[in-house]
Amino acid sequence: MSSSNPSRHFAFALLIPLVLAAANYASLHQQVLGFLGYHSTSSSLPAVTIPQATLVGTIIDDAFPTPVEAFLGFPYAAAPTGALRFAKPVAIQPGNETFKADAFGPRCPGKQLLPPGGGEDIWSEDCLTANIFRPASLPKDKKVPVMLYIHGGAFNRGTAKMHNTASMVGFATEGFVAVSFNYRIGALGFLNSKVTEKEGVLNLGLHDQVLMLEWVRDNIAAFGGDEGNVTLVGLSAGAHSIGHHIMNINSPHQYPLFHKAVIESGGPTSRALHPYDSALHEKQFQMFLTLTSCSGLSDASILSCLRNASEASVVEASNTVFAHWNPSVRWAWQPVIDNDLISRRPLSAWKSGNYANVPILTGFNHNEGTMYVPKTTTTSAQFREFWAELLPHWGNEELDVVEQLYPDPAVYPDSEYLDTRGLDVGAQYKRLEAAYGHYAYVCPVRQTAQFSKTPVYLYHWATNRTILGGANHGDQMWYETFDPSTTSVSSTHKELAGVFHDYIVSFVLTGDPNAVKGRWKRPVWEAWGKQGEQEHKTMVFGAGNDERAGGKGKGVIAELLNDTWGSKQCEFWWSQTPNVED
């Protein structure tokens, strides 16, 4: 449901092209409607004054050891509507308004991913809002580290409130300030084409993220945060985004905007990254223009047409185009090489050694591919067809190799991809989900560890959530926040969540997952090594645990191993990273 509540909908008033050309900022008082009657603030509520406004937050307890002060749903950019639709984000001008920051803002339009607990689904183009969480006991005499969370969702789904950031802060033994935010997704965030390149509006969702980083740099000290100690944390598309920010060496900023990174199930070399003018993205762009009745126009008229189209028609067209390409996983509305934020292919950046040298904690889940590949895959021919469609530049040589790397269970009875689970899936599904998981996530994560010049702490998430999904893409997110959906499963899962949460928080605070003791006893996590005794050092979480999947296996909470699972396959996928489709 599109948001129509004026107290939560931040309208940017009456912009005309002349104003757009002249103004670099938007006033917060022009954004916040329906709040003029809010005159007083309770002394029991947290309030912080920043140049743009005074934010009056709320207290979240939820049985946390430390109550959390939260400032929710406040705008960090002008509403990207009207003349600012398909435009780079515009920062907010200083003002003296008071803003009641006690509820999440609407999500950005896209394919929905329901947050924990479900709830009413409210979306709006006017969605560029942020949320800040800090312990109520935060010391007043010193700044504390900052975490900035970038949500995932294939750049077409998701919202900040999917991540239980308040719980992550509330259960930490040492204080830090955490920030989450929405950024534009779908066509509104990544309408990439030759036309949008001419207008200088590629990768708008990434530009939203950069503006949020700049906002943190300029304002987080008012909340007790240290702008010189910022950790980016992100899952899936959030992880890919962080990878691109690490590779962005053309930043005009005077000093780095972040200093550590937690990159979960993703990275700069994950999946395909095309040039802005690739044939695939042009096909998707033309389909979008047809659906919005903006086709057949001159290049100079297209964006004007799209900016005047109804919100509903733009969102419906965006979702329709994404759905059309979704079965092949050749997704629409993705980041592209734009000669700006993404100036080169990530592999070239890794090889150059010229990127942000920040400490990294990264990892993958054992069954990354289960939600993405067709469950009806039954024959070896269908297995081969999937890859031929996903990677059309491949020839028979590459297709033959991938078939050999993942032995056909119909031919080799001892194949590890022989599915004996008795599920209603095709006989080749287990084989295909393993191969896609390696290609899209597992091997790019290891590639980050292999190339990085700074310490990298690598994990392998192995606890099974369901019989079908196994250790599925994104499962670990609920554990890092110590979310009750995991801690209530069993005492083993509560310990697993506690240990993982302690590691991540320690890294956010110090750049070392071992430095802060936390609440749970845990083994020392040694950094990944490229050779010798440290080679393939990986912390494996929850191996052998299938309690959530209906089993009785408790497994091992956390164990440091020289983990070579999938290494042979990764050698092949790494060899294919330079073999790209233009």
Helix H or strand E segment including 275: strand 274-275
Position 579 scores a pLDDT of: 78
Interatomic CA distance for residues 128 and 91, integer angstroms: 11
Residue type, 313: S
Which residue ranges make up each domain of the chain? Answer: 17-276+335-346, 280-328, 359-576
Interatomic CA distance for residues 481 and 62, integer angstroms: 13
User: For residues 211 and 91, is the Cβ–Cβ distance under 8 A?
Assistant: yes
List the structure tokens of 494: 């509560």
Residue type, 53: A
Query: Would you say domain 359-576 falls under CATH 3.40.50.1820?
Result: yes
List the structure tokens of 22: 């002249």
Q: Which of 334, 296, 293 is nearest to 317 (CA)?
A: 293
Q: Which residues pair with 134 in a beta bridge?
A: 69
Interatomic CA distance for residues 355 and 327, integer angstroms: 34
Domain 17-276+335-346 matches domain 359-576 at the CATH topology level: yes
Position 515 scores a pLDDT of: 98
Residue 153's region, left for phi above 0, alpha for psi from -120 to 50, else beta, is left
Buried b (16+ CB within 10 A) or exposed e, 154-165: bbbbbbbbbbbb
Position 31 scores a pLDDT of: 40
Longest dimension (CA), the chain: 74
Active-site residues, by number, are 236
Q: Which residues pair with 470 in a beta bridge?
A: 466
Helix H or strand E segment including 179: strand 177-181
Q: Report the SS3 class of residue 559.
A: strand
Using the structure block, give the residue that is written with the tokens 């509403």. Answer: 79
pTM here is 0.92
The dihedrals phi and psi of 122, each to the nearest 5 degrees, come to: -110, 125
What is the sign, positive or negative, of the torsion defined by CA atoms of 279, 285, 286, 287? positive
Position 120 scores a pLDDT of: 67
**Residues whose CB is less than 8 angstroms from the CB of residue 158 and which lie 6 or more positions away in sequence, other chains included:** 107, 110, 113, 151, 152, 185, 237
Nearest-5° Cα angle at 472, 471 to 474:
120
pLDDT mean for each 10 residues of the chain (582 residues): 42 34 41 33 81 96 92 98 98 94 95 62 94 93 96 96 96 98 98 96 97 97 97 98 89 74 95 90 97 96 98 97 96 95 90 91 97 96 97 96 97 94 94 97 96 95 92 94 95 98 99 97 95 90 95 96 95 89 66
**Residues whose CB is less than 8 angstroms from the CB of residue 342 and which lie 6 or more positions away in sequence, other chains included:** 203, 206, 244, 247, 248, 273, 335, 336
Q: Which CATH code is given to the segment(s) 17-276+335-346?
A: 3.40.50.1820
Q: Which of 301, 272, 331 is nearest to 199 (CA)?
A: 301
The dihedrals phi and psi of 286, each to the nearest 5 degrees, come to: -65, -40
Helical pair 204-219 and 237-247, crossing angle rounded to 10 deg: 70
State the SS3 of 97-112. EEEECECCCCECCCEC
User: For residues 10 and 126, is the Cβ–Cβ distance under 8 A?
Assistant: yes
